[in-house]
């Protein structure tokens, strides 16, 4: 074993890191209140949807798996 310390390359930031930063800001701003956090997130998302001209598309209804009883 060598006694020389190993140098690690600095890790590159990813999109996940960006999301974590934003989540931490929302958490700080909402004081841990999940309802406020969701409301703030929805406001930000709506602002970006309008700014980018994106349409809101409803997902198709979920199909429930059949349980095999035929009822």
CA distance 30 to 41: 10
pLDDT score of 21 more than 70: yes
Look at residue 5 and tell me if it is in a domain.
no
What residue ranges in the chain does DSSP mark as E strands? none
pLDDT score of 1 more than 90: no
CA distance 64 to 46: 30
Give the position of tokens 């930000």: 44
| Parent domain of 29 | 16-52
pLDDT score of 53 more than 90: yes
Give the range among 25-29, 34-38, 40-44 with minimum mean pLDDT.
Answer: 25-29
Report pTM: 0.45
Contact status, residue 23 vs residue 29, Cβ threshold 8 Å: no
pLDDT average, residue stretch 48-53: 94
Look at residue 68 and tell me if it is in a domain.
no
Domain count along the chain: 1
């Amino acid at each position: 074993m060598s006694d020389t310390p190993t140098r690690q390359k600095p890790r590159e930031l990813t999109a996940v890191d960006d999301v974590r930063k934003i989540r931490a800001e929302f958490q700080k701003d909402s004081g841990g209140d999940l309802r406020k956090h969701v409301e703030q997130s929805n406001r930000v998302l709506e602002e970006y949807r309008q700014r980018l001209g994106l349409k809101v598309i409803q997902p198709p209804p979920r199909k429930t798996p059949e349980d095999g009883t035929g009822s």
